[in-house]
Structure 1
Amino acid sequence: MLNTDKNLKLYYSISEVATMFGVNESLLRFWEKEFPQLNPKKAGRGVRQYRKEDVETVKLIYHLVKERGMTLPGARQRMKDNKENTLRNFEIVDRLKAIREELVGMKLALDAFTYDDVENLKENIQNMK
């Protein structure tokens, strides 16, 4: 049976990575020229193979340039001078976003809860006793 779990893949194509971030393949090729940290393996005929580390680097570049609005020279300098701190800050922001999304989902679920739902739960609990 073929394993389709993306977390277990060793390499991603440029089109897969572009789709992950909603960008064009040409932008990824451009970023390779602008950021020395982004250096996917090139197989035969120049076919790019992005490792998990490359995808994480793209994620960081995307965050700095697209989400934070930094210029390319500014993002390049940030990654060169203080990549560990930048990565740590990005991971914190990423986790906070995930927590926020989860909380918003919980709020929507709670907002959808009605008085009748509460009464039904009470009845179910009484019936269990």
Structure 2
Amino acid sequence: MTSRATASHTAPPRLPLSGVLAVALLCGAASAHADTALERERLAGAQRLLDQADRLAAMAAPAAASEPSRYHFDYTRLHDDMRRMQAGFASYLVPVRAQPRDPSALAGQYTRESALSPAPPEPRR
């Protein structure tokens, strides 16, 4: 019966440093490409959700306009902001060439005093 302490161990084979570096670089490049593909997939999913939200808001707008209330949701401004976000997704996912960015900000305020009052102008930043 031999104990583990007396059993002979052979040293594991050593890899050359250049081989280890090459494998590390290739794995890093592959994961960077996978991250880009995963990011594009997630952004495309977010774009689809934004399209669905825009359709739901468009269906809710006529019903909300007929209900009496002190404050009304500004569906027009929401629609404009969603279109701006969709354009941002599209320009990133399908770039044509380097273009200057649109510096306009999202409105962010979606309440109005009455259903018939015009929406106040969007603030410029």
TM over 0.5: no
Q: Name the one with the larger helix percent.
A: 1
Larger radius of gyration: 2
Greater RCO, CA 8 A, separation 6+:
2
TM-score, length basis structure 2? 0.32
